[in-house]
C-alpha cells in the first residue's frame, strides 16, 4: 500500500511537500517511536542528522505527514520519522497549537471517508522577496532554511461503481510561520490560490474541468459538509 510521496530538496535538506491518502485504517493507537532515522533511499550526506535531537533555536522537528496519521500501521508510522519528513517548526502556538488542531480535524474527517492531503512549506510566494532565516540541527553543522510559510491542500472525491471519479471538492490552508491563538478556519484559501503562490499543480490526475471547478472553493465549512 502506498504510504506517502515526498518532494525532497537535497540542496536545502528540505521536504518541500509530502502527499498522502488518509483513511480510518491508517490511524490507530500504536506507541510513538522513540527516535528518528535517516531515509534509506537517500545518501546520509543529503540529510540532516535529526535522529537523536532536534534543531537549534528552539525549533521542533515538524512532521509534514504526522505520526497520528499513520499510527495504525507500524511500518508506515516508522517512515514518518525519517528525517526527510522534518522541517524546523515553531512549537508553542504553532506545531503544538493551530497546526495540530488542523491535523486532528483532518484525521476526524478521514475516519469517515478517504481524503488526499498535500502538506508543504514555502520560503516565499511566487514573485515575492522574503528574508530566509537558517538554523542547524543540534547534532549537525548543515545550515537548514526555516520555512516562512506552511500549507495544506486537501481533496475529497466521489466515484461511480467502476471507480471513476465523478465529483471532487478541495480546500487550501495557508499560514505564515508564526504563533497563533485563533482557529485554523480563519486561514482557508482556494487550492488555486496556493498553486499561484507556490508554482505547483496539485491533484493533476483529476479531469481538467472537474479540477478547475473543485479548486475554487476556499471555505472549510463547504469542504467539510461536502
* Residue 212 in grid coordinates: 478547475
Answer yes or no: are the C-beta atoms of 37 and 31 closer than 8 Å.
no
* Residue 22 in grid coordinates: 488518509
d(CA 128, CA 196): 12
Tens of pLDDT, residues 99-130 = 999 999 999 999 999 999 999 999 999 999 99
Identify the bridge partners of residue 134 per DSSP, sorted by sequence position: 145
Categorize the per-residue pLDDT at 60 as very low, low, confident or very high, splitting at 50, 70 and 90: very high
Tens of pLDDT, residues 137-175 = 999 999 999 999 999 999 999 999 999 999 999 999 999
| DSSP-assigned letter for residue 67 | G
* Residue 144 in grid coordinates: 537548514
163: left (phi over 0), alpha (psi -120 to 50) or beta: left
Q: What are phi and psi of 5, to 5 degrees?
A: -110, 140
d(CA 110, CA 104): 10
Residue 126 half-sphere exposure toward CB, CA atoms < 13 A: 8
Tens of pLDDT, residues 167-224 = 999 999 999 999 999 999 999 999 999 999 999 999 999 999 999 999 999 999 999 9
Categorize the per-residue pLDDT at 69 as very low, low, confident or very high, splitting at 50, 70 and 90: very high
Categorize the per-residue pLDDT at 28 as very low, low, confident or very high, splitting at 50, 70 and 90: very high
Q: Which has the closest alpha carbon to 134: 152, 120, 150, 148?
A: 148
pTM of the model: 0.97
pLDDT for position 138: 98
Amino acid at each position: 500500500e502506498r504510504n506517502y510521496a515526498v518532494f525532497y530538496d537535497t540542496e536545502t535538506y528540505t521536504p518541500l511537500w509530502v502527499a498522502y491518502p488518509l483513511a480510518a485504517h491508517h490511524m490507530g493507537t500504536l506507541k510513538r517511536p522513540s527516535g528518528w532515522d535517516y531515509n534509506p533511499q537517500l545518501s546520509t550526506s543529503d540529510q540532516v542528522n535529526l535522529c537523536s535531537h532536534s534543531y537549534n533555536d528552539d525549533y521542533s522537528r515538524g512532521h509534514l505527514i504526522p505520526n497520528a496519521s499513520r499510527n495504525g500501521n507500524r511500518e508506515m508510522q516508522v517512515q514518518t520519522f525519517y528525517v526527510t519528513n522534518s522541517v524546523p517548526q515553531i512549537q508553542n502556538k504553532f506545531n503544538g497549537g493551530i497546526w495540530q488542531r488542523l491535523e486532528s480535524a483532518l484525521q476526524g474527517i478521514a475516519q469517515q471517508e478517504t481524503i488526499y492531503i498535500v502538506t508543504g512549506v514555502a520560503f516565499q510566494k511566487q514573485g515575492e522577496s522574503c528574508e530566509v532565516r537558517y538554523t542547524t540541527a543540534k547534532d549537525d553543522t548543515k545550515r537548514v532554511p526555516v520555512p516562512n510559510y506552511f500549507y495544506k491542500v486537501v481533496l475529497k472525491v466521489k466515484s461511480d461503481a467502476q471507480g471513476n471519479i465523478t465529483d471532487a471538492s478541495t480546500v487550501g490552508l495557508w499560514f505564515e510561520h508564526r504563533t497563533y491563538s485563533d482557529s485554523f478556519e480563519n486561514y482557508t484559501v482556494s487550492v488555486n490560490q496556493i498553486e499561484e503562490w507556490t508554482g505547483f499543480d496539485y491533484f493533476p490526475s483529476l479531469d481538467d474541468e472537474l479540477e478547475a471547478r473543485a479548486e475554487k472553493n476556499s471555505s472549510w465549512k463547504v469542504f467539510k459538509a461536502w
